[in-house]
Amino acid sequence: MVGTIGRTLVVLGLAICGFALYLTVGTSLSEHHDQVLLAERLNLPALHNLVPAGHTVAAPQPTPPIGSAIGRIIIPTIGVNQVIIEGTGEAQLEAGPGHYPGTVLPGETGDAAIAGHRTTWGRPFWSLDRLRLGDPIIVESPLGRFTFTVTGAVTVLPTDLGAILPSTTPSLTLTTCTPKFSAARRLIVRASLQASAVPRSAAHLRWSTPLLAPRPPSPLVLALVVALTALAAVLTVVLWRRQRLASVLVGLGGMAALSLTYTLIARALPGGF
């Protein structure tokens, strides 16, 4: 009995360690794969074809479809260089920083808002708290190249709906979870546009093909997979010494179920975690 309990604890401990490894490495590999696909679809104007254009984009642009690549965000101070995807659902944030639908595009008049994960899925905003007043944030998009500078940062509750503020000038808001490894609050970094450059000749803008990402699972599916994984782990312990072949087969099934469980749980975490 004591031996069975001990083996069970060992299995559970390994499962927990595996989940921690999946969160830090597995989700980052998945996000990197999506970033490569998004970068291939992003159509940025050549730098030599850009000219200074004041502080705003001249004409309104068509709304980007959810899942499309709309630009690239570069924050030299903290080493961020990521493709921005349209949308802030779990499926989009798994692929990279997401632009809030309903807010203006970076460089247009108003407040453009972008959310990003803090500790999982590539953790693009891991060091967002290190930004200081005056630090540059660059956004490159089919509309041009826009340089913002940080004007301040605040921490709010996740239920605070005032994070995105009305603005009569081009501005940028970045949001993520805080503190690290927690979704208890939201870190909000604000920036204002300092310089911009747009293509010499305006053309009809067409956004990239959306990246199709998996939808988050339902709680019922999540509970079912967790239960099956637990059953597989128990059977592995019971058959450890009795039937080696059966133990190996059940163990392999348990590993596959654990892998699926890790994915489902990671997608069930709050958006900016």
Could you give the residue numbers annotated as active site? 117, 177
From the CB of residue 113, how many other CB atoms can be counted at a distance below 10 Å?
Answer: 24
R_g over Cα of the chain: 22
User: What do you get for the CA distance between the two ends of the chain, in Å?
Assistant: 39
What span, in angstroms and rounded, lies between the C-alpha atoms of 66 and 92?
Answer: 8
Phi-psi region of 262 (alpha: psi -120 to 50; beta: other; left: phi over 0): alpha
Helices 2-21 and 244-268, packing angle to 10 deg:
40
Specify whether the CB–CB gap between 158 and 183 falls below 8 A. yes
